[in-house]
Chain A
Amino acid sequence: MATDTIPDVSLGEINKYDFITPSHDVFKAQKGLNPEIVAQISEMKNEPAWMRDFRLESLKIFESKPMPKWGGDIGINFQDIYYYLKPADHQGKTWDDVPQDIKDTFDKLGIPEAEKKYLAGVKAQFESEVVYGSLQEDLGNKGVIFTDTDTAVREHSDLLREYFGKIIPPSDNKFAALNSAVWSGGSFIYVPPGVHIEFPLQAYFRINAEQMGQFERTLIIVDEGASVHYVEGCTAPMYTTESLHSAVVEVIVKKNGRARYTTIQNWANNIYNLVTKRAVAYQDSLMEWIDGNLGSHLTMKYPAVYMMEPGARGEILSIAFSSKGQHQDAGAKVVHCAPHTKSRIISKSISKNGGRSSYRGLCKVEKGATDCKSSVVCDALILDSASRSDTYPYIEVEEQDVHIEHEARVSRIGEEQLFYLMSRGLSEAEASSMIVSGFIEPLIRELPMEYAVEMNRLIELQMEGSVG
């Protein structure tokens, strides 16, 4: 069992999230990955046979696929990880039902305050299982389903099965296959036709035990004319051994629907964060991904929008910030499968102290997708010569009647700007920090307020000590 471990504070920046709760896990599977463990996971969750078979088939696919030859260095021993942990026996409906040590964790993350505000409901994930959730009454009355994916498999089987694994089949890539085999937790959201959820639905994640993997699986279905904004923010304490986060997010936005998915990722610097996120957008619908990557040792994540029917639109706003020992390999993919579709990608990245930020993206216009427009802009700031910035955009155009534009710029903080701010009394660190904040302002502007504040503070923290 994991016991108290004092984090090694000399390892670098400490923020309020670097703490560890002693773990009182009710059940703990063994380390490693094999059909028996996968079958056990399915059994623990009381899943129908089709899901168990899906998991086992996915495991085979995972084992048969090679590691990607591009992106970052993935130094993981797959047999040295726990793939499942179940901290509490049942899912609490109110705050009182949740075990105390888990409450402590959430206290530190400020969830009770959030609950008092206008959040619709909180699906919080602790060690692979959703232990706390509550759905506000009026949403329930409108027919909105907001639950964890495990529950959805049992209680909304037909609805879930129609879409699960169809947007991202297990064979799509090695880590989608892994997630498909061992997924646990994550959110399931269904918004009925015409329903607009006015406030953001949120989720918090936490990796606590050493060697713990996080494999949440999220499925969001926005029916015709409906809209939703989903926000997720992650955090984890610092460890010296590697941890793996490999999530899959599938989103379907039907005719005239709108969906926005915001992520602020701030995993500790030993986490591998390898995520597949993809949305399909139908007629006249809009899908937006807002993706902030601040933490982790290595992130590989390329939120995608497939515009399947005329009038569909995709927008992706991506920020990557990498510091010492970090590699953010992030980006976006837009695929125009139908005519009269539009997409926009804005990527901003910052590398400092030897960090490496890479933009990797795709803009594809398929045959038949006439009258499409796409604009991709990538701006990168590189703050010192130890750091590195890469841009790898892929543009594939199979139609003539289109407007496709792509632009990328790499530069350092302008001397004139710095000088101007310093002449107004700011230190070089403060001036740099301000310029970087300005640089990522387009993303900050789109976040719910408490996240915006958090982001700005996190950037300030990251910028301290970066001068030199």
Chain B
Amino acid sequence: MIATAPPTTGFSQEVFDAFLADRDEPGWLTDRRVAAWKQFNNLGMPSNRDEEWMRTDIRLFHFDRFTPFADIKTPAELPSALLAVGVELAGHSSSLDSLSLSAELSEVWAKRGVLFGSLDALVKAHGDLLRPYIERQLIDPNQDKFSALNAALWSGANLLFVPKGVKVTDPFHSFSVLSSGGVDLGKTLVILEQGAEATLLTETASTDPDAGGMHCGSIELIVEKEARLRYVNLQNWGSGVWHFAHQMGHVGANAGLQWTIGALGSRLAKVNQHVALVGQDSEAQVNGVMFTHGKQHLCYNTHQHHKAPYCRSDLLYKSALQDKSRTVWRGMIKVDEKAQRTDAYQRNDNLMLSTTARADSIPGLEIEADDVRCTHGSTSGRVDDHQLFYAMTRGYTRQEAVRMIVTGFFQQVFDRIPIESVRDALGEAIGRRVRDIEQ
């Protein structure tokens, strides 16, 4: 029938006002939230006539079926985090349904001026420091209803700030959890000042692998000149979760960003992942690992924007699809007129593990400089029968053979990830999900 859950007050004015009253934030931040809230209410749902939304039907998504900041009891046991197993961390934080649960930062780094933990708390204590970065507004709240909502209501958010010249050797880890039917409005803000270095691992999960819920999030990565950031984001929401995110990285002169995403969960994902090379001689490597099953629909729009000369970007997205799932990858490389001597690459490979899966691959190039080297490539196909046969003659079962072949498929991306715990976690998570392919 039409609605199984009774309509709730959802994202109402009362909810927003109560939220603000509770925050006690600096005035400039409150003003930003209020303006974004107004936008959220003014904007309609995205139209299926927009290029961005044409392949991703969200008519079954209803804001009024979710209640943010609902009272829930913290479960006795949270799901286990995957990425930081056996790793010595510089800091760790966690949240549940957009409320901060914990935040720890090792003394060694705190003493050197590093800030890590809940942005909600840290923006109050370090408002003056953080304000110019937040005001840089890497993500425009007015872009669509989802960016506006996140700009108005972000909470349970993560901050990593590394001051000039500080090179943090151990990784940071942050874990966001959603209860069944819960709402996560998280935000990740990373600021690396000149010459800083750090590694941040973030992951998401639901309390139940089949849980429903909603995530409307944002990620802003500011990598100033000569700084280096390695950022890993593993999306592992329950298979009923609606996942909307706007993600943006700015890379300054001579700086480097390595950004790896793993996309395993959610019912429907619509993620914009943009990287802008704003300073000369900067580089960005973007790696994507997607593994879908059931009726999942994952749509990832990536963007490599070369605004300065002598920069290099390299994107590799690999998807394996099972059952009736569907992936849509739209990638654009945009090279401005003054971005001469650009090297930009983009590649998307799709491995189809069933006859009912569907992969849409839409690479793109918009080039306005002439002294450039830009290529993109895309392949789609199935598991090679010869490889399968060979493995089975060596005594592996069909399922084991498929698992090995799928792992082999992703190897090229894994080889680009220097963090062992991440490689292992991704490899294992994928391995567990591989079932037998159809005969």
- Direct A–B contact in complex, judged by CB atoms less than 8 Å apart: yes
Q: Chain A interface (Cβ within 8 Å of chain B)?
A: 69-70, 365, 367, 370, 380, 382-412
The verdict on A401 contacting B355 (CB below 8 Å), with A388-B368, A395-B360, A407-B375 known, is yes
Q: Does B266 contact A (CB under 8 A)?
A: no
Contacts of B380 in A (CB 8 A): 365, 395, 397, 402-404
Cα–Cα, bound, A392→B367 (Å): 12
CB pairs A–B below 8 angstroms (15 shown): A365-B380, A380-B367, A388-B367, A392-B362, A395-B361, A397-B360, A398-B357, A401-B352, A406-B377, A407-B375, A408-B365, A409-B373, A410-B372, A410-B375, A412-B371
Q: State how many angstroms separate the Cβ of A356 from the closest Cβ of chain B.
A: 9
The verdict on A400 contacting B379 (CB below 8 Å), with A406-B363, A410-B372 known, is no
Cα–Cα, bound, A397→B373 (Å): 28
Cα–Cα, bound, A367→B355 (Å): 8
Cα–Cα, bound, A201→B244 (Å): 55
Q: Does B337 contact A (CB under 8 A)?
A: yes
Contacts of A391 in B (CB 8 A): 363-365, 376
Q: State how many angstroms separate the Cβ of A130 from the closest Cβ of chain B.
A: 40
Is the beta-carbon distance between A382 and B367 smaller than 8 angstroms?
yes
Contacts of A399 in B (CB 8 A): 352, 355
* Tally of A-B Cβ pairs under 8 angstroms: 119
The verdict on A412 contacting B370 (CB below 8 Å), with A392-B362, A397-B352 known, is yes
Cα–Cα, bound, A441→B377 (Å): 23
Is the beta-carbon distance between B350 and A385 smaller than 8 angstroms?
no
Contacts of B358 in A (CB 8 A): 396-398
Is the beta-carbon distance between A385 and B376 smaller than 8 angstroms?
no
**Which 7 A-B pairs give the minimum distances between C-beta atoms?**
A400-B352, A391-B365, A400-B382, A395-B361, A404-B380, A397-B380, A406-B378
Q: State how many angstroms separate the Cβ of A365 from the closest Cβ of chain B.
A: 8
Q: Chain B interface (Cβ within 8 Å of chain A)?
A: 51, 337, 340, 350, 352-382
Q: State how many angstroms separate the Cβ of A321 from the closest Cβ of chain B.
A: 15
Q: State how many angstroms separate the Cβ of B226 from the closest Cβ of chain A.
A: 28
Closest residue of chain A to B376 (Cβ to Cβ) is A408
Is the beta-carbon distance between B370 and A396 smaller than 8 angstroms?
no
Is the beta-carbon distance between A405 and B359 smaller than 8 angstroms?
no
The verdict on A390 contacting B364 (CB below 8 Å), with A384-B370, A400-B353, A411-B374 known, is yes
Is the beta-carbon distance between A402 and B378 smaller than 8 angstroms?
no
Cα–Cα, bound, A396→B366 (Å): 21
Is the beta-carbon distance between B355 and A400 smaller than 8 angstroms?
yes
Cα–Cα, bound, A386→B373 (Å): 17
Contacts of A394 in B (CB 8 A): 360, 362
Is the beta-carbon distance between A397 and B368 smaller than 8 angstroms?
no
Closest residue of chain B to A376 (Cβ to Cβ) is B378
Contacts of B337 in A (CB 8 A): 385-386
Cα–Cα, bound, A402→B358 (Å): 12
Is the beta-carbon distance between A395 and B378 smaller than 8 angstroms?
yes
